[in-house]
Chain A
Amino acid sequence: MTTAELVTGHPLESPENARYALLTMSRIRKLEEAVEDLFGRGMMHGTMHLSIGQEASPTGVCMALNISDQITSTHRGHGHCVAKGADLTRMVAELLGKENGYCGGRGGSMHIADVETGNLGANGIVGGGIPIAVGAALASQLMNKGTVVVSFFGDGAMNEGAFHEAANLAAIWKLPVIFVCENNKYGMSSSTELAFAIDNLSERGLGYGIPGFTFDGNDVAAVYEATETAVKRARAGEGPTILEFVTYRWKGHSRSDKNLYRTKEEIDEWKKKDPILFFEHVVRDKGLLNDEEIAEIHALATSQVIAAVNEAMKGKPADPANLLDAVFKKVNS
């Protein structure tokens, strides 16, 4: 079994919820470590954008969503995908270019989508998913679905025109969409200090009439609470919210990053704010999980990721023969 049963609710509400939150964050981290390893061994090609250090945001957000709620994701999307409930084997199979991967080997890391869990897709285009999320929210409103859509994007994406046009549409139509900005301090090499003339990126909401708030993105409970409030607002027909979760990516932007634009000290400082270690402290303090249980959860995550990698490796390589048939959906099918 590589898919977890989705658990919704506050990460600190019960030992079960705490266990699920920790397991999800641990699965994301272990998966990313496995991806880095596959890449290093030359088994995966293309590029990779790892979300190590950013596990709290997808986890906390998705614990506030139902399976029928939707997300749009980014190039750094493995965490969103896992937190929404994707199957690890099919994810890894995609990265390995296998037929049984989520995209049949056609999309790779930057294009994984999972219809069943409401993941409308990662995106290779910075900001590309934001207007799409707004459109999905429009459909939800028009069809009275009662579902909300979360658009995950990075700090860098907030400077694309796509964000601005989409935000305004969402505001004037009071759409059930939540703009989740994962501010990891850099868009590739450009720091938020250089790329913005405001302090908190959530202030961008002001110009559009969208409430915006900034939170510690490495505190999964804070992320959950913020999202839950925004989800209530969206479901009540009160419109969009901007949530800025401040976090940090530990690894380079992609495989080719030499980290010339930041210091080792800064990276080390942020490693001390590890979202997983922080959550472990909290749950121990609150008596929700003990050391032994915590260790078991990480061991389970590790074994799930290893199983997924092993299973994925057995998959059939994607076959070039059916590429032409894959471009268009057949009319009337």
Chain B
Amino acid sequence: MSDRMLTMSEALREAMSIALEERPEVFILGEDIGIYGGAFGVTGDLYHRFGKERIRDTPISELGIVGAAVGATLSGMRPIVEIQFSDFTAQAMDQIVNQAAKIHFMVGGGLHVPLVLRAAGGSGTGAAAQHSQSLEGWFANVPGLKVVIPSSPYEAKGLLLSSIDDPNPVIFIEHKLLYKIPGREPVPEGAYRIPLGVSRVLREGKDLTVVATGIMVSRVLSAADELDKDGVTLTVIDPRTISPLDMDPVYASLEKTGRLMVVQEAPEHGGFLNEVIAKVATGPALGHLIAPVARLAGMNIPIPYAPQLEKAAVPQIPDIVKAAREVVANWR
């Protein structure tokens, strides 16, 4: 096994490069993905390697781009759309929600939409309210869309390759703070695929089961390291895809820990991880709970600009440590 450490940008680029080589029907379209290399540098040199037909720069026309991609899928292509910031999916919402998600079902199965839409989500860069949202919950509430949230470079590469293979529309949300930092584990060379709809248990402990997505996974892992020192141990589960959602490892873990905490960056109200709580409340593991479920999420506010405000708006490592400690201490 290789010990190559990549950033998430590099891992994503590698996945796209493999797909472009494997399948002539794969092409990428989006704003500034060509010579510029992508707003976050993810497409990088692909333009020089695969040419402007397949690495297709577009005008600033999100609705048109996504719609064109949907149309291309119906005629046999497999486009990957890059939307610079997930906030701008709002511009393209008709094509995502009313078209891509429903076509296969509505027409009785005769058409399908193998589309991947990649977009940068999340806060932490001072880009303020219209460039920092965590909108995964919107998409998770639309039947017909798969929703993937990689939490590290290793996950990103394997999940993106599976997303490209998938015959359905996949919304692939990349946290922008993860792009440039090295991951927690090596990224193998060549193709490997991580199936959609399989949660991953990243760490096993006895006191508390924590379910987290995206950037919150690394924050929870750091918190777990810190809590270890006082003998509080966490089981950390990254669902990786929130649609479909694999709850089995959560149920299994609750049998051991009896306590659940969910951590997300998106605002608490109506957030996706509430679904995890609902599934636990209505599922086989409810009887194992010995504590009320703890929920850590973004404040119910737009993401503010000033660094001290922005930090306060979403869970940070000390918040996670504190909340975890409390739930374990208060419910013995």
Contacts and interface: CB of A to CB of B under 8 A. Distances in A.
Interface of A: 45-47, 94, 97-98, 103, 105-108, 110-111, 123-128, 156-157, 159-162, 187-190, 194-196, 256-257, 260-261, 317-318, 320, 323-324, 326-327
A195 B306 contact: no
A212 to B, nearest CB: 18
Interface string B13-46: 0000000000000000001101111010100000
29 contacts: A46-B125, A46-B127, A46-B305, A47-B127, A97-B307, A97-B309, A106-B304, A106-B305, A108-B126, A108-B128, A124-B87, A124-B131, A125-B91, A125-B130, A126-B60, A160-B61, A160-B62, A161-B64, A162-B91, A188-B36, A190-B31, A194-B59, A195-B60, A318-B308, A320-B309, A323-B312, A324-B300, A326-B301, A327-B300
Interface string B300-328: 11101111110111000000000000000
A256 B313 CA distance: 25
Nearest to B88: A125
A323 B59 contact: no
A105 B301 CA distance: 14
Given A47-B126, A108-B128, A189-B34, A159 B60 contact: yes
Nearest to B304: A106
Contact of B59 (A105, A107, A162, A187): A187
Given A260-B35, A260-B36, A160 B60 contact: yes
A105 B35 contact: no
A125 B129 CA distance: 10
A interface secondary structure, majority = loop
Interface string B90-128: 010000000000000000000000000000000001111
Nearest to B52: A194
A161 B299 contact: no
Given A106-B304, A108-B305, A124 B129 contact: yes
Contacts of B306: 97-98, 105-106, 108, 317-318
A189 B35 contact: yes
Interface residues of B, number: 39
Nearest to B311: A320
B63 interface: yes
Contact of A323 (B87, B126, B304): B304
Nearest to A44: B126
B308 A320 contact: yes
A156 B301 contact: no
Given A108-B128, A323-B301, A326-B301, A45 B88 contact: no
Contacts of A318: 304, 306, 308-309
Nearest to B131: A124
A323 B61 contact: no
Contacts of B129: 106-107, 111, 124
A159 B307 contact: no
A161 B63 contact: yes
Contacts of A47: 125-127
Nearest to A128: B130
Given A261-B35, A320-B308, A320-B309, A190 B130 contact: no
Nearest to B62: A160
A156 B59 contact: yes
Contacts of A111: 128-130, 305
A94 B305 CA distance: 9
B305 A161 contact: no
Contacts of A128: 130
Nearest to A45: B126
B57 interface: yes
Contacts of A260: 35-37
A126 B58 CA distance: 14
A327 B301 CA distance: 6
